[in-house]
Structure 1
Amino acid sequence: MNDAMLLEGDIKELIKRLSVPASTGFLFNTMFNVTDTLYAGMLSTDALAGLSLSFPAFFIIIAFTAGMGTGATAIISNEIGKMDIERVRKYIVNSISLSIILSGLLTIAGRLSIGAMFNLMGAQGRSLKEALGYMNVVLYGVVFFSLNAALNSILSAYGDTKPYRNFLIIGFFVNIILDPLFIFGIFGMPKMGTAGVALATVAVQALGSAYLLKRIVQKGIFDGIGIYEIKPSIFHYFQILQQGIPSALNMASIAAGMFVINYFIMEYSGAKTIAAYGISLRIEQIALLPTIGLNVAVLSIVGQNFGAQKYERIWSAYKTSMIYGVAIMTLAMAVVFPFAKSLVGFFSRDSQVIISGAQYLRIEVFTFNTYVLLNVSISALQGLKKPGFAVYIGLYRQLLMPVLIFPAFGEAMGFGVIGVWWGIFAVNWSAVFITIAYTMKIFSKKGII
């Protein structure tokens, strides 16, 4: 494999080559989640609410596994840029073993805390039962989520985003088959409800681990790795954790933010608005999909070129990705706003759910561009091995400001749950100005601009 594939060539073409497969894969991953939501809607509104309540807990798992993967990509891509093959191999094998250790810790923590987490959100009755049924199964499959993040991080560091795309596409179609089997008990299977949604997800992740490992072996990434290099290294663990923990905490803060949002929704409205919010998040994810690949592209390109000290290419990748992202999200705004009610109605026939979801989306569209500006900037900082800022802006955006703004808009100003939606808008745009200012400061300090 050409280790220097991101150190030369047209930046625009490299961004397209990396981001399009990644975005395509995430499209099918989101459709995977949409399929789960559709089937849950066939069960009941309580099942939809249960999935929405589960999402923050589920996202914490994704946050820590994907965060470690992002850290591994940043550090491996830097070593590739330096052409230090021995160090690349050590980081590869240690990122895999570390992912297995992480999965065990997450499983134990989840078992101990999941009930208390749902109680804090005010979950009760049938919605609580559905949420617990889902998460209790998901926790058995954490090892596969963690392994997939590690294996994908290795491939991404080399600039290869296609295998993960292929896994997500295949996983989508497999999930379409497994969901009804497990949820409704077709062909003699026991009827499992939302626990069946979780079991299908875990099964797909297990298949993905086998596929990605096979692809890495086929590409020769493991070629030349000796027995002495397989031994776990505390030093390399520490280096990966140093890059990965800030990214993981940033993503975990998103889960915490969802927890806060769910809390205030339950405070001002109720289970039907929770269900509406869960549906609207799926729609929002679809709208954001074309830009998700930009984060992957920026991290890999910046990481390799920072290692090779090709600073002009870093600025070009950052600027180009921002322009592409804003253009795409502006188009998405023009599509989602007028069709918000129809989009929510695709998932639920409940009139109150449809109205609440459409209200959220018609405010949230004005926040769409913030996700591009924030995520591309944070990816660039991670590529520069400056991941710490992500933690602070995550805490600001997901915890500190929401806890202050939501009650101010919702209670003091009397807007209720609509105040939560406008609170998200205000918090995100303030975070954008802070993040871009900090990114420009780091770029100037490094001589990139």
Structure 2
Amino acid sequence: MDSTSLTHQPIPTLLRQLSIPSSLGMLFNTLYNIVDTYYAGLISTEALAALSASSFLFFLVIGLAYGGTSALTALIGHAYGKQHIFLASLIAKKGVALIIGVGMILGLLGFFFASPLLYTIGTEERYHALALSFIEVILLGSALFFANFALNSVLVATGDTKSYRNTLIFGFFANIVFNPLFIYGWGFIPAMGIAGIAFATVLVQAINAAYLLYKSLQTGLINFTCKEHFYPDRRIYKEFITQATPPGLNMLMMSFCSIIALHFVTLYGYQAVAGYGIGYRVEQLMLLPSLGISSATLSLVSNNMGAGKLERVRQTLFYALSYGYTLGLIGMGILLLSGKWLVSQFDPSSEVISYGTTYIYVMLFLFCGYVTHFSCVATLQGIKKPAMIFYVGFFRQILAPSVVYTLIVSYFELSFMWMWIGLGCIVYSSALALLYYTYLKLKSL
């Protein structure tokens, strides 16, 4: 899709065209994670708890990738919308190189400190070794995750949300084959147990990175005709870091929020950790359409902002919220009817099912709050006004959860359900503040 289409076709049509492939891809990505959860459950409940703990730790590592890739999409989109193709190409090359380099460094740091970090977040001794064997493999392949994110940001900036969708669909089916192959072994392939789940994931990431590189080369924004284009550039990096820091820190804080929540969940026992991990993945299924809409929102806002079409920027947020709320309400109904059955497919333990179902039944009422956050964050990134994202994120992800969870779990010693009710109050209060701020920023354009 060219920049003319992104700045001239009707916004509702473009939102559907961009968000449907993105949402479909995210659906298969979540199904991918559910396949991992299913196979971990076949190993043991401890393996499920290990997968939950190590996955949340990895989210901490890749948190900065989100800020970098969203900033890359916004900057390329602005240049692309202005028809400054050479500048867009230069930003793409230098941005991709930087993001992959950061991924390599963070992966190595995470690998060397994985064991104490797992203990820090409350991983019990009974499943610590399992969690470590999983996360070490994932961390060694973290540069591949970052490469996929970076290359996809280049494609999204040009209106291509289908290529990444294709990789996620492929990954889901490949994972079904690779997981049992590496978990149980076959022929010359040794049985790796839970580490086999991680090895399968890294292999899928390597294949997908090769495909996304091929698609990026076709856009013309990425090429290897001049290696100097990949070298660091202070001016581009300065703008890149300015745009990437608030959303990157926000995503990093989201990772910390998950780890903070996990720490308090461990106080209810390892079965609560397993139930929380299952419930979290099931919940993500219903949030996928909204995440797809936010990806489309970022692409449309950045391109139209670059083209100076401010009314189309405002229309994008309006339609993004309208579609997101509608899909969120549908998701609430689906989970309300099927939540318990979905959780029970991963672990037969009544305790695990109870914890997972409790989490889902409370969290489904937060969907509209999350939709507001996703759409407003994408809009602020697209108009290159991301600073408030950090402040709202700090309140929602770090300050308020630390206080609320401590009061609910440690001081008042309330039940597992009240953790998530407390989170709901935090989500909606911050969503309203962020929506009001975004409205003021758009009004002032």
TM-score w.r.t. the length of structure 2 is 0.97
SS in 1 for 2:8: coil
1:345–1:227 CA distance, 2 compared to 1 (3 A): closer
1:5-404 correspondence runs (5 A): 5-222=5-222, 226=226, 228-267=228-267, 269-404=268-403
SS in 1 for 2:324: helix
Residue 2 of structure 1 deviates from its aligned partner by: 2.5
The separation in 1 between residues aligned to 2:145 and 2:262, in whole angstroms, is 25
SS in 2 for 1:348: coil
SS in 1 for 2:3: coil
Alignment correspondent of 1:421: 420
Alpha-carbon contact 1:264-1:417 (below 8 Å) kept: no
The separation in 2 between residues aligned to 1:413 and 1:7, in whole angstroms, is 54
Alpha-carbon contact 1:181-1:187 (below 8 Å) kept: no
Alpha-carbon contact 2:67-2:248 (below 8 Å) kept: yes
Deviations 1:269-293 (A, max 9, x none): 1100000000001100111112111
1:208 counterpart letter in structure 2:
N
Alpha-carbon contact 1:260-1:403 (below 8 Å) kept: yes
1:363 counterpart letter in structure 2:
V
Residue 21 of structure 1 deviates from its aligned partner by: 0.5
The separation in 2 between residues aligned to 1:214 and 1:286, in whole angstroms, is 29
Residue 444 of structure 1 deviates from its aligned partner by: 1.8
Alpha-carbon contact 2:88-2:221 (below 8 Å) kept: no
The separation in 2 between residues aligned to 1:408 and 1:26, in whole angstroms, is 35
1:352–1:224 CA distance, 2 compared to 1 (3 A): closer
The separation in 1 between residues aligned to 2:3 and 2:230, in whole angstroms, is 21
The separation in 1 between residues aligned to 2:211 and 2:239, in whole angstroms, is 27
% identical equivalent positions: 35
SS in 2 for 1:5: helix
Deviations 1:149-201 (A, max 9, x none): 11101110011111111111111111111111111113342111111111111
SS in 1 for 2:341: helix
Alpha-carbon contact 2:36-2:179 (below 8 Å) kept: yes
The separation in 2 between residues aligned to 1:180 and 1:227, in whole angstroms, is 41
SS in 2 for 1:337: helix
The separation in 2 between residues aligned to 1:151 and 1:67, in whole angstroms, is 14
Alpha-carbon contact 1:294-1:325 (below 8 Å) kept: yes
The separation in 1 between residues aligned to 2:93 and 2:220, in whole angstroms, is 14
Residue 420 of structure 1 deviates from its aligned partner by: 0.9
125-134 or 279-288: bigger deviation: 125-134
The separation in 2 between residues aligned to 1:58 and 1:149, in whole angstroms, is 15
The separation in 1 between residues aligned to 2:387 and 2:304, in whole angstroms, is 20
Alpha-carbon contact 1:180-1:186 (below 8 Å) kept: no
The separation in 2 between residues aligned to 1:199 and 1:373, in whole angstroms, is 36
1:122 counterpart letter in structure 2:
G
The separation in 2 between residues aligned to 1:371 and 1:203, in whole angstroms, is 32
The separation in 2 between residues aligned to 1:108 and 1:393, in whole angstroms, is 30
Residue 426 of structure 1 deviates from its aligned partner by: 1.0
- How many residues align structurally? 445
38-47 or 110-119: bigger deviation: 110-119
In structure 2, the gaps of 5 or more residues are none
The separation in 1 between residues aligned to 2:257 and 2:241, in whole angstroms, is 23
The separation in 1 between residues aligned to 2:149 and 2:244, in whole angstroms, is 12
Residue 245 of structure 1 deviates from its aligned partner by: 2.2
Deviations 1:242-301 (A, max 9, x none): 21222221111111011111111122x110000000000110011111211101111000
Residue 413 of structure 1 deviates from its aligned partner by: 4.0
Residue 373 of structure 1 deviates from its aligned partner by: 0.7
SS in 1 for 2:141: helix
20-29 or 119-128: bigger deviation: 119-128
Residue 226 of structure 1 deviates from its aligned partner by: 4.3
1:410–1:162 CA distance, 2 compared to 1 (3 A): same
Alignment correspondent of 1:433: 432
The separation in 2 between residues aligned to 1:229 and 1:47, in whole angstroms, is 45
Alpha-carbon contact 1:78-1:304 (below 8 Å) kept: yes
91-100 or 113-122: bigger deviation: 113-122
328-337 or 275-284: bigger deviation: 328-337
1:32–1:202 CA distance, 2 compared to 1 (3 A): same
The separation in 1 between residues aligned to 2:287 and 2:218, in whole angstroms, is 32
